[in-house]
Each structure stands twice: as C-alpha cells, then as structure tokens.
Chains A and B, each alone.
Chain A
Amino acid sequence: MWFDLDGLPVCFPYDAIYPEQHEYMGELKRALDARGHALLEMPTGTGKTAALISLITSYALANPSRPLRLFYCTRTVHEMEKTLAELRLLFSHLPPADACRLLALGLSSRKNLCVHPQVSASGAVDTGCRRLTASWVCEKAAYDRESATPLCDYFETFDAAARKGDLALYIQPGVYTLADLRSLGRERRICPYFLARHMVKHANVVVYSYQYLLDPRVASIVSSEMQKDCVVVFDEVHNIDNVCIEALSVSIRKQTIQGAKGNLRHISQQIDRFKATDASRLNAEYRRLVDGLAQRGNLPISDAWLANLALPDDILKEAVPGNIRKAEHFLTVLWRLVRNLDERVDTENVVNERPVSFATSIYSLAGIETTTLRFLYDRLQSLLLTLEITDTDEFMHIQKICDFATLIGTYKRGFSIIIEPYDDRMPDIRDPVIQLSCHDASLAIQPVFNRFQTVVITSGTLSPIDLYPRLLNFNPVISRSFTMSLTRDCICPMVLTRGSDQLPVSTKFDMRSDPGVVRNYGRLLLEMASAVPDGIVCFFVSYSYMDGIVSSWNDMGILQEIMQHKLVFIETPDVVETTLALDNYRKACDCGRGAVFFSVARGKVVEGIDFNRHYGRLVIMFGVPFQYTLSKILRARLEYLRETSQIQEGDFLTFDALRQAAQCVGRVIRSKADYGMMIFADKSRHDKRSKLPGWIRSHLHDAHLNLSTDMALHTAREFLRRMAQPYDKAGSSGQTEENLQDKARDAMEM
C-alpha cells in the first residue's frame, strides 16, 4: 500500500501497518531530514525491518538528489536472509520503473559464498580460495602455461570480466540473497564472492554482518567504496559496545607466543628462499614502502589489502620507518618483540598497565620505538603478500602479536594491559595471559559515525536509551523507545521476590548457597512445570551457579519431580552438545511431552536462538545476570567509564545486567500472535523496574511486582487460560491505507 507520511509518499509492502511502525517511520524520516544519527528501540515482532527498508527506499525515491545507498548490518546470516526476503517483497511493490533500477545483495564470507566444487567442500575455504586466486598464482599461470598451475575457473571469469569492465552484464538489478548469488555463480560460472564484493560499489542496498564495519581486522573491504551520503543501519545491536570492544581487544597466551616463534622461523626460511631465487620481489616491496603506506591502493582486489578503518589518517600518509623496511630488519624487530612479550608473560603477580608505560618498557627493554610498533601490523601484511603466503590461518599467531603492537602504538587512552598469571576462578592452574583490553567502545565505532551522514542503531532492547550515546560517544538527533501495540495482553512479566515459604529469594552472593533459596527456586520451577504446557526456558546467572543449583536440586529430589512433568535439557559450553540438546528440546515440545531448558544468561543460546510459540511459554530468570565483578578487565573498564564518561559503576553494571535479562526474556516473544510469560526471580529486582525496556515495562502490572510462588502460579494459570481463547488474528492494531488517509484528513481539518 501507499500512504503519505508528512509529505513523503511511502510504499509499504503489506496491507496494514501497525501504529508503532508508522511512528517509527516518522522518527526515521526526521533523522534522514536532519542528516543525523538515530537510536531507536522497538520490540521484535513488530516489523522493524519492513518499516526501516520501506521508509529508506521511499525516501530515496522521492529525493532524487539523494540516491538510495543503504548498508544494512545484521548479526547473523539468518537475519541477513530474512532482511533480503523483506527487501524482495518491497521491491515487488515498487513501481516497475523504479524497481528495475535497484540492486540489493547480501555479502558474506567466502565460506558462505564459494561455489568451487572442491574448495567449498573443504574445511578451509579461505585458504583454499587464496591458493587459487592470489595475484601471483594467476601471474604464474599466465606466464608459464605448461606448468598447469591450478586456478579457479569462477575467479578467472570474474577477472576477465573485471578487466573488460562489463561485470554489470552478469548481474541484473534485483534482490540477491546468498543462495541467489551462489546459483547465479554456478549458472554463469563466475565467482559470487568476488562479484558481490565488486558490486558493493554499485549496489543500492547491501546487507551484511556488522563485523565488516566494526572490526578493523575482518577486512574492511567496503570502506573505500562507501560515500558520505550512505545510510548505515545496525540491526539487533543491543550489545554493540561489547562488539566494538572485542574488535579492539587482544589476548596473548603462552601458546600464541610459541606459535609466533614458529611463524617467524618459517618466514625467515621463506625470505632466504626468495633472496636466492627472486630478490627483485623483495626490492620492489622495499621501494613501495619508502613511498608510504598510502600508495598501496593499486594492489589487485584478490589480495584483500585495503585501508584500515580504525587507524587514524595520518598514519596512512606517513612513510614506514626505516628500520623495518628491509625484510630481515623487520624480522629481527619482531623477534625482539616476541622475546620481550615472552618474558613479560612469565610473571607471578598481576600487572595492570597503561599502553604508554607498556610501550616505554618495550622501548627500554627491546629497543622498539612507539612509531615502529604502530606499523608492525601493516608491515607484516605486506611481507606475507610479498612472500606469496596464502595460508593466513597458519600465521594467525604472529598476526595477533603485530595487531597487539599496532594497537599499543596507536592508542594512548582507553586501553589497559593486564597480565594475569592465572584465572581468578581457578587459581591452581597456571595460565598466564597478556590482555590488551579496550575500554572505550567509541574507538571502533567513531570512524563509522564520522564517515556517514546517517547511522541508525536499532534493536528490541536498548534501554535505558540515554546510556548508549554516552558509551558510544555520539550525538543522535533522534533517540526513542517504542512500545508494541497488541490486540491482547500477550506478555505477562512477573517479579517474584519470595518463595512459597515467604522467605526472600536472590542470587546475591551471600544468599546464593543458602539451601532455603535453592529449595525455593526449585519449588518455583516445579510448580511452574506442572502448570505450564510445552516448553519452559530457565536462565541462570553463570555456568558455575547453574551446575551448583542443579546438583543441589538433584540431591533434594526436586529434579526427579520436575522430570515427571517435563524432560530437562541443559546448555553446556560445548556447541555441539548444546545444539543436540536444543534439537531434542524442540522435539519434546513438539510431541507434547514438555521440556525445560536450562541455559546461561550470557551463554550462546541467548544470542540468536528463539524460543517462540510453544518452545517457550515461560521463561524464568533466576537472579540478576551481573557480570563477574571481580574480573580485572571489568574493573579496569568500570574505572575508565567513571573517569571519562561519568557513568557510575553501579549504573553500568545494572544496565548491563538488565540488558542481558531483557534479551533473555525477549526470546519468547517473536511475533504478535505469540504469547509468553516471564518471571524475574530475585528480591532486588523490583527497584530496577525503570531500567527494563518499555515494551516489558508497560505490561508489568503493579500487582505482579512482588509475588510469591503460589501467587505467581495462580497468575500463570489464569494467564494461560486467557491466552488459549480464540482471538481476532487479523487484529485491529493494524491500520490500512484508508485509515491512514482518514487520519491525515482529520489532522488537516484540525
């Protein structure tokens, strides 16, 4: 349907629109008008994606001066496919004249896109691909036809077309999912990965993982192709600050150092071999380095050498320091660095240092200057290319060390280096580690904000919404939280503070091991298991707590009683085991046996796995999922936040815990037709109500704030009965085209 939004004709691919989608579009339009960033929270299942893409597309069509350039960043490949399906639906509703000009495609790694029969079947696709497509391999094959160097036919077609400049012939405008790209590649015998990467320049909409933008190491391949007027959308990024921090954090263990030493030996052999056979290549590299890093832009695309988004511009223009230009000199510098780190890691006590002092100590002990440190990562990449090394996985260790050095050399603030001889939780096992941890999430994302006119950050859980701008250090023109309009009260959050014996329950450290609390939690789950059909999901604060409480339940006989009602499945740190448990859990829910899934609030399950419909009628959150507060890294980060952003420790911890809790309970509702209950079982929960996302808060009645087990049970029974009644699925919450027109007319008359 088409409707008018403040003078903008908007094409929406469905017959009805929810009021919150309409509002969402309104806010988004204002952000686009103001050419600023936006921070929008809207619960899942309300058609966020559809609202986003239809507004941005319509906006671009209505303003020919600002053509459609949208970069849509998702979290998983699955979400990517869903977004592309949504785009396809939208394009089919656009006027044909507009739709036939637009190109939208998904971009993913070689692993997901490769169609080469042997390479795609092998485990290491990246390495296999580089072995067949690296520029020197192609050159060698062209130079020496008799030697029958294996090449990738798909890449050769791409290369030939790219040289002629007629790649556009291969790909018609339209929407291409990853599967479409693969089948196109097979049909036309062209490499989908390189084609997609090349077409990013010309595509109107690109959907990919947000790692491509945030992580400077995961080939920032699109950075040079993106213009200022692009719209960048980050979807489902409630933990964007953690992603940013992880992108710039490095930890070096003993194994890393051992591996790096092995790498260095390998490299020096290679250098010797090259010196004997092909010295000109090394000399060419030397000359190039004299000219500076910025001159490398004319390297072939297949070698994945592009500018580093996170590095300040001035570094790119500077010439590489003299002492590492020659390959042998560079190698000795690396040896000194690795030996120095090896000595540092063998410490008996915990060390916490700032990058500046760490760099100074490297200078005094190993004689490497800070400026030199800064170039190590790029210098290593250049050397690996020169030495024609395709197996990048093997050289991971030395790359990690160079990465570490570059970060130390580049950033003076926002980092700390923590050397720990052993993990706090397991003091008996010696496991020394040097951790370079980033505390400032804004460092990784700042270039994105500066570079693009409009960055939209959106997710189901962004509360409290005022904290994100401070964490990421940006200034959104629009920041708003939307609630869900529902035809019925289909979510039922409850706060349980007391057990059936009226004693408070909590996972606070002093009460955690109290047998009364453990028993009360057990009774709660047992009662709920007898009253709730199909699936129940339980979240615990940590693996160790889960192990403890489950074994106590076993001793008390509670677990056996639960097993009479439902089967019990447990998440473990092992991915394969957990996947199996999840499969069986789903099966048990399907066939009516009923099941309980025990999971961890910061585990794998919480990110990306849905417990919608009968797979999750109830989620119980045992305790508040605070981070492990004794961790040195968290302490350092909290301190940094307090000093620079004036965020109190308690505030941040609460925010982080509730964000995680909201994420956990949000797993059960994925659409409006669904229903589910959420129980927060902790006595200290009710004073933190205001920090929960609006869509949960608006359903949290005052009467449900301070319940005991029996009251919760009663509420649950009543809720389930009510939800089982038939209801009007079409729902009056959607508005059709006529409604909107009527509304607009009313507004005009007023």
Chain B
Amino acid sequence: MDYRPSRMAVVAKCAEAFIREFFDQNPLSHVGLVTIKDGISHRLTDIGGSPESQIKALMGKLECSGDSSLQNALELIHGYLNQIPSYGHKEVLILYSALNTCDPGDVMETVEKCKKSKIRCSVIGLAAEIFICKHLCEETGGSYTVALDESHFKELLLEHAPPPPAIAEYAAANLIKMGFPQRGAEDLISICSCHKKIKSGAEGYICPRCKVNVCELPTECRTCGLTLVSSPHLARSYHHLFPVAPFDEVTFKLGQKGGQNCYGCQQSLINSDSQSNLHVRCPKCNQHFCFDCDIYIHESLHNCPGCESQRSFSS
C-alpha cells in the first residue's frame, strides 16, 4: 500500500493534528465529523467547539469498508450546515481515499445545492484526481489537492486550518453573545464542569454568567451555553477574516517631499548608499514603510498603523 502502516492510520493521525491546529487558529469555529463508508454517510460528532471530544470520537470509530457516496455525505452535511446562521462561514473539508463515488441520485444536483447554500467544499484526495471532486471544488469555491505522500498530505491538510478571507457578501453583520471569563482565584476550589474533577480556581476559568468553572478556552459553557472566549482568541480570528492588503513596492523619486521616514518605526527610508531606496507603501493609506515593518505588520500585527490612525482621525 502507498501510505504506511495504512491509509486509515495516516489519515487519523493527520486529522487529529488538523483539529488541534484548526481550533488554535480559529478559536471561535466549530467542527463536526462525518464518516463516509458502505455507501452511506454517518454523523460521528455534532458540530461543537471542543477539540478533545472531537478527537476522542474520531479515534473510537476508525473503520473503512464498502463503497463511498459523495452525494449522501454532501446531503447530510448540507442538512446540518444549513441551520448555521448567516454570519458563519460554512466549510466542508473532505478527505477522500476512494477513486469513485456510488450515488443514489444525481450528484450534480447536490453540488448545485451546496453552491446555492454557500457551502465551500474542499477535497484532499489520497490517490488521484477525480473529475467530480474537482467539479465540486470549482463550483463551490473550494480547493482540490491530491497528496503525494504522508508528509505532503499533512502539509495540504494543515493549509486548510487558517480560514479564507471573509467575502463581503457572506459576512452579514449580526450580534452574538459571548462571555469573557476570568481566571479563578487561588483559594477557590470547585468542580470543573467539563471533567467533573475538583480543581483549584487558578487552573480554570469562571463563566461570567453562571459562575461555573471550565478548564480551557475557547469552549461553550456546559451550564448556560454561553460561548466563552478570551480576547486574544477574538483578535486572532478577526485578522484572518480581514487580512492586511499586501503593500506595493515603490522607489523614491529624487527631490520628492515628505514621507522620508518609515511610518512605523520612523527610521529614514533613504539609505546612505543611494542604491537601495526601495521600500513599500500601503495601497489604502499611502503611508510608506520599511521592509522590517512590512514583515512585522503582515505576520504579527495584522493591522496597518497608517490605516488605523486615519480611522481614528475620521471618527
């Protein structure tokens, strides 16, 4: 066989890593698992926010047999994702090992249906390119890749962890309730709601609404159902959705006035050797930046200082 020890083991291992990475990158997102085998699809877990419970459910159900049916799976997923409110992104990632699909009806109609409900479907194939998968991904705006080997498979899978940039038409504004729990006090001993174990307050967080103890964030409160997050989570999710536009490379014309210094760090942009006065400019606010700041803004800060300060002026 091509993957060792077996395709199943490799997929399970990578899927576990993916679920962890996914929640790390998208703390606010939820995941549900669906298995495809024997011509039907089966819901393994409900859509939820806890990585541990998802992984546990997955590891308990590692089996494969029979034909696969892409249509059945998509129909099932469509049923679940359709209930998601409009501000959420609906994405399907299919890890597909089979080379065909045995469907009860016309799979093209189901593809159309997914497209209409704006469900973005992506497929990672394990063996070869299949036309229907390619068609599905093209229609719904997802990506279709085929793994060469185990490491490539993992790489492709993890590429799906950061979310795609928000598209204006998808992102309808809506208010949702969220709790920002605080770490409990040292001396407080309570039973955590997730593991039913006695813990000191410093190990967990207290839900601001019902005061129950939870072990990790982000999660949903077991008692009152409030979404519990921390502010860094929120910020991290946010920047993926609205990334800073890449800066344009520009060179100075001699004698040009103003903008001689980097807007970020105030260093002079004109080097002593006049050869390399290449630098970048934000296309929105037209502020100039040096390369160091460019990297810092795009990889760590995720906000453009120029645009942000302009916004504060105008407001």
Contact = CB atoms under 8 A, between A and B. Distances in A.
Interface in A558-597: 565-566, 589-594
Nearest to A714: B2
Interface string B113-140: 0000000000001011111110100000
Q: Which 3 A-B pairs have the closest CB atoms?
A: A592-B132, A724-B146, A720-B128
Interface of B: 2, 70, 99-103, 106-108, 125, 127-133, 135, 145-148
A413 interface: no
22 contacts: A531-B99, A531-B127, A531-B128, A534-B131, A565-B100, A566-B100, A590-B135, A592-B103, A592-B107, A592-B130, A592-B132, A593-B100, A594-B99, A617-B128, A717-B2, A717-B127, A721-B146, A721-B148, A724-B145, A724-B146, A725-B145, A725-B148
B101 A592 contact: yes
Nearest to B132: A592
Contacts, number: 72
Nearest to A595: B100
B148 A722 contact: yes
Determine which residue in B108, B128, B129, B135 has the highest number of CB atoms from chain A within 10 A of its CB, and name it: B128
A446 B106 CA distance: 55
A721 B128 contact: yes
B128 A591 contact: no
B101 A724 contact: no
A530 B106 CA distance: 23
Given A533-B99, A721-B146, A725-B146, A591 B129 contact: no
Contacts of A565: 99-100
A530 B132 contact: no
B132 A590 contact: yes
Nearest to A567: B100
Contacts of A721: 127-128, 146-148
A721 B124 CA distance: 12
User: Which one of A591, A717, A724 has the highest number of Cβ atoms from chain B below 10 Å of its Cβ?
Assistant: A591
Nearest to B143: A726
B312 to A, nearest CB: 42
Given A533-B128, A721-B128, A591 B106 contact: yes
A56 interface: no
Given A534-B131, A721-B146, A722-B148, A591 B99 contact: no
B131 A533 contact: yes
Given A534-B131, A592-B103, 18 more contacts: A530-B99, A565-B99, A589-B131, A590-B131, A590-B132, A591-B132, A592-B70, A592-B100, A592-B132, A593-B100, A593-B103, A594-B99, A613-B131, A614-B129, A614-B131, A717-B127, A720-B127, A721-B127
Contacts of B148: 721-722, 725
B129 A592 contact: no
Nearest to B99: A533
A726 B101 CA distance: 23
Contacts of B145: 724-726
B123 to A, nearest CB: 11
A334 interface: no
A593 B102 contact: yes
Contacts of A723: 128-129
Interface in A373-427: none
A230 B187 CA distance: 102
A532 interface: yes
Contacts of B102: 593
A592 B131 contact: yes
A723 B148 CA distance: 10
A594 B130 CA distance: 9
B36 to A, nearest CB: 13
A725 to B, nearest CB: 7
Contacts of A725: 145-146, 148
A335 B169 CA distance: 84
B2 A591 contact: no
- The residue in B70, B125, B131, B135 that gathers the most chain A C-beta atoms within 10 A of its C-beta is B131
Nearest to B129: A724
Nearest to A615: B131
A242 to B, nearest CB: 35
A738 B179 CA distance: 62
Nearest to A720: B128
Interface centre among A565, A566, A717, A724 (most CB of B within 10 A): A724
A592 B127 CA distance: 14
Interface hub of B102, B108, B130 (most chain A Cβ within 10 A): B130
Contacts of B129: 533, 614, 720, 723-724
A621 to B, nearest CB: 21
B127 A534 contact: no
Contacts of A591: 101, 103, 106-108, 132
A533 B2 contact: no
Contacts of B125: 724
Tell me which of B108, B127, B135, B147 has the highest count of chain A C-beta atoms within 10 A of its own C-beta: B127
Nearest to B146: A724
Nearest to B135: A590
Contact of B99 (A532, A590, A722): A532
A428 to B, nearest CB: 44
A610 B203 CA distance: 67
Nearest to B133: A592
A669 to B, nearest CB: 15
Contacts of B99: 530-533, 565, 594
Interface string A524-538: 000000111110000
A589 B108 CA distance: 12
B273 to A, nearest CB: 32
Contact of B101 (A530, A593, A722): A593
B188 to A, nearest CB: 54
A224 B232 CA distance: 86
Contacts of A617: 128
Contacts of B106: 591
A382 B225 CA distance: 98
Nearest to A675: B129
Contacts of B146: 721, 724-725
A127 to B, nearest CB: 44
Given A591-B107, A592-B70, A594-B100, A532 B128 contact: yes
A593 to B, nearest CB: 6
Contacts of A614: 129-131
Contacts of A722: 148
Nearest to B125: A724
Contacts of B133: 592
A458 B147 CA distance: 40
Interface in A689-735: 717, 720-726
A720 B129 CA distance: 7
A465 to B, nearest CB: 35
A534 B131 CA distance: 7
A532 B102 CA distance: 16
Contacts of A590: 108, 131-132, 135
Contacts of B130: 533-534, 592, 614
Nearest to B103: A591
A490 to B, nearest CB: 12
A614 B132 CA distance: 9
Contacts of A717: 2, 127-128
A725 B135 CA distance: 16
Nearest to A726: B145
A534 B132 CA distance: 9
A717 B128 CA distance: 8
A531 B97 CA distance: 11
Nearest to B108: A591
B128 A724 contact: yes
A534 B148 CA distance: 19
A590 B135 CA distance: 9
- Chain B CB within 10 Å, residue with most, of A531, A593, A617, A723: A593
Contacts of A726: 145
A590 B103 CA distance: 12
Nearest to A721: B148
Contacts of B128: 531-533, 617, 717, 720-721, 723-724
Q: Which of B100, B107, B148 has the most CB of A within 10 A?
A: B100
